[in-house]
């Protein structure tokens, strides 16, 4: 069992990080009681805002000795409740560790602290003509530590992969308080097990990340965006397969159903491109040479039209591009605006079976009498499914959510997919892990967790069923 945070522990925490960085009034704690996961809320006993690896180390050593739960937190934008302190204890915030330490133009790396806002890192490296591809849609509020811990993806994953493909060095603090450094500015490294890859996606349950070295690419100078409008969903996904079969890998292929475009319109109070189509694809291409990007644009446009697109809009400049993307960027907010209570899933399936997944989800919605909207990353099979409570009675909603979760997961698994592509297991999906993973694998992961964290103080109540 865990100990509570008492006055003596508060004093010790103040001695480590300074009294101003220990928050314990209920007003100050409230913002740390939730992340962006709808409906999940749990108060910490105290929030500690660390400013260095050595402070993180001293906090963890103390918590480990006294058996106090510690929940690491960076931007608090998670969508599976990972940063929510479901068992109370200490929230260890990394938000003050927000320095970009070095952009190395010769080795094409950037070294930064976990509290750096992802969008700020993008802008800093882009000023140097460099490029950090992972681009979660939350990039102006999420932070690198959370991106590493969740292995964040984003629209550009189709061509450039996800966070794990860019991390070459980490500094982390173990629950014992030991500070360890792994990797560095290295393109290759097979010295021992890849513990870096183990920590990526470990959702704050194994160690606290305190410094990150990321690989960069040259910034592609040319970019063109297309919005292809289809009468319905199936031909849109056929077009995606056709584009890839033509050996073009766009940076991004996002899809939106009509309901999501209309919800964005209602939030923004204006008409959006794509409003009359059954389904839209938003496709982005980039290249080192203008003529290459435009040649790919022609081929992609042809593939869409040959697969039944009604129309393909092209954006070559910033204002037009912003207009094409406006609806996609606000979908989550728009649906929240329509129904403040909702539930979001993040299943991933092989790209070609997305229509079967989306069709099955809509059948489930009709059976259960609930409104569901799907959108997401058509290029990598990652579908976001949002169920809206609207005016369903509370009791009906409470019984509906677990039934929907199980139904959606079973459907995704039956199509060769899995529970989550980028939002993680966290608190909200842990009960369903056995649907996806063999008991032997769950047990192996539990044993790994025990090696890192024998007292179970780091982010308890997450990931494991
Ligand atoms: C509008 C919206 C759009 C989104 N779009 C995307 C998207 O396109 N792609 C995507 O992948 N996600 C997306 N997300 C989800 C979320 O933004 C990502 O999971 C992001 O990586 C979380 O980062 P964060 O800094 O907010 O982490 P937090 O919410 O603070 O934490 C997330 C997890 O990481 C752990 N953690 C945080 N910092 C550390 C650290 N330093 N060391 C160890 N563990 C740590 C926490 O304990 C928790 O388990 C979106 C969220 C919203 C609200």
Which pLDDT value is given to residue 352?
87
- Domain range annotation of the chain: 7-95, 100-218, 222-331, 339-435
Global pTM reads: 0.96
Nearest to 329 by CA among 425, 252, 276, 231: 252
Confidence of residue 101 (pLDDT cuts 50, 70, 90): very high
Q: Radius of gyration (Cα) for the chain, nearest Å?
A: 23
From the options 3.30.43.10, 3.60.15.10, 1.10.287.3510, 1.10.150.120, give the CATH code of 7-95: 3.30.43.10
**Chain segment 140-152, per-residue pLDDT in tens:** 999 999 999 999 9
Which pLDDT value is given to residue 329?
86
Backbone φ and ψ for 215, nearest 5 degrees, come out as -75, 140
Nearest ligand 1 atom to alpha carbon 204: 44
Task: Give the C-alpha separation, 221 to 296, whole Å.
Answer: 15
C-beta of 36 in contact with ligand 1 (< 6 A) = yes
Task: Give the C-alpha separation, 173 to 58, whole Å.
Answer: 10
Domains 7-95 and 222-331 share a fold: no
Q: What is the mean pLDDT of residues 441-447?
A: 98
C-alpha 185 – ligand 1 centre gap (Å): 24
C-beta of 283 in contact with ligand 1 (< 6 A) = no
From the options 3.30.565.10, 3.30.960.10, 3.40.190.80, 3.30.70.2190, give the CATH code of 222-331: 3.30.70.2190
C-alpha 73 – ligand 1 centre gap (Å): 9
**Chain segment 14-33, per-residue pLDDT in tens:** 999 999 999 999 999 999 99
**Chain segment 309-339, per-residue pLDDT in tens:** 999 999 989 899 999 999 988 998 999 999 9
State the CATH architecture for 339-435: 2-Layer Sandwich (3.30)
Nearest ligand 1 atom to alpha carbon 78: 29
C-beta of 86 in contact with ligand 1 (< 6 A) = no
Percent of the chain at pLDDT > 90 equals: 94
Residue nearest to atom 21 of ligand 1 (CA): 147
Nearest ligand 1 atom to alpha carbon 163: 11
C-beta of 170 in contact with ligand 1 (< 6 A) = no
Residue nearest to atom 8 of ligand 1 (CA): 136
Nearest ligand 1 atom to alpha carbon 94: 41
Confidence of residue 68 (pLDDT cuts 50, 70, 90): very high
Nearest ligand 1 atom to alpha carbon 141: 26
Contact 374, 385 (CB under 8 A): yes
Which pLDDT value is given to residue 168?
98
Nearest ligand 1 atom to alpha carbon 72: 47
Which pLDDT value is given to residue 186?
95
C-beta of 94 in contact with ligand 1 (< 6 A) = yes
- Average model confidence (pLDDT) for the chain? 96
Longest dimension (CA), the chain: 71
What is residue 257's three-state secondary structure?
strand
C-beta of 209 in contact with ligand 1 (< 6 A) = yes
Which pLDDT value is given to residue 35?
97
C-alpha 276 – ligand 1 centre gap (Å): 34
CATH 3.30.465.10 fits 100-218, yes or no: yes
Backbone φ and ψ for 406, nearest 5 degrees, come out as -60, -40
């Amino acid at each position: 069992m865990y100990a509570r945070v008492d006055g003596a522990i508060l004093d010790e925490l103040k001695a480590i990080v300074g009294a101003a960085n220990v928050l314990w009034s209920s007003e100050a704690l409230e913002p740390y009681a939730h992340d962006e996961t709808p409906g999940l809320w749990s108060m910490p006993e105290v929030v500690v805002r660390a400013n260095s690896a050595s402070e993180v180390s001293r906090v963890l050593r103390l918590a480990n000795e006294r058996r106090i739960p510690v929940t690491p937190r960076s931007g608090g934008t998670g969508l599976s409740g990972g940063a929510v302190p479901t068992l109370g204890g200490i929230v260890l915030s990394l938000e003050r560790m927000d320095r970009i330490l070095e952009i190395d133009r010769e080795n094409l790396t950037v070294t930064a602290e976990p509290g750096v806002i992802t969008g700020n890192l993008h802008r800093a490296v882009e000023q140097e003509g460099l490029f950090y591809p992972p681009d979660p849609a939350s990039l102006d509020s999420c932070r690198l530590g959370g991106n590493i811990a969740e292995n964040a993806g984003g629209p550009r994953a189709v061509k450039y992969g996800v966070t794990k493909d860019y991390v070459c060095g980490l500094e982390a603090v173990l629950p014992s308080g030991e500070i360890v450094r792994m990797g560095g500015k290295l393109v290759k490294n097979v010295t021992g097990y890849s513990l870096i890859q183990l920590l990526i996606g470990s959702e704050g349950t194994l160690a606290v990340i305190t410094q990150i070295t990321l690989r960069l690419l040259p910034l592609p100078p040319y970019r063109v965006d297309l919005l292809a409008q289809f009468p319905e969903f199936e031909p849109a996904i056929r077009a995606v397969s056709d584009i890839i079969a033509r050996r073009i890998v766009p940076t991004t292929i996002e899809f939106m159903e009509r309901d999501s475009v209309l919800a964005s319109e209602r939030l923004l109070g204006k008409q959006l491109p794509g409003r009359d189509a059954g389904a839209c694809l938003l496709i982005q291409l980039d290249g080192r040479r203008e003529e290459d990007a435009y040649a790919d644009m022609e081929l992609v446009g042809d593939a869409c039209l040959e697969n039944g697109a009604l129309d393909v809009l092209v954006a070559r400049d910033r204002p037009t591009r912003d207009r094409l993307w406006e609806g996609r960027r606000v979908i989550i907010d728009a649906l929240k605006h329509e129904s403040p209570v909702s539930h979001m899933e993040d299943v991933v399936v092989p790209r070609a079976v997305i229509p079967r997944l989306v069709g099955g989800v809509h059948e489930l919605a009709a059976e259960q009498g609930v409104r569901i909207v799907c959108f997401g990353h058509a290029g990598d099979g990652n579908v976001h499914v949002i169920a809206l409570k609207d005016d369903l009675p509370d009791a009906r909603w409470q019984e509906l959510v677990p039934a929907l979760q199980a139904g959606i997961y079973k459907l995704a698994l039956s199509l060769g997919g899995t529970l989550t592509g980028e939002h993680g297991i966290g608190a909200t999906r842990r009960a369903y892990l056995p649907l996806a993973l063999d008991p032997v694998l769950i047990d192996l992961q539990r044993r790994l967790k025990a090696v890192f964290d024998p007292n179970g103080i780091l982010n308890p109540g997450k990931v494991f069923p």
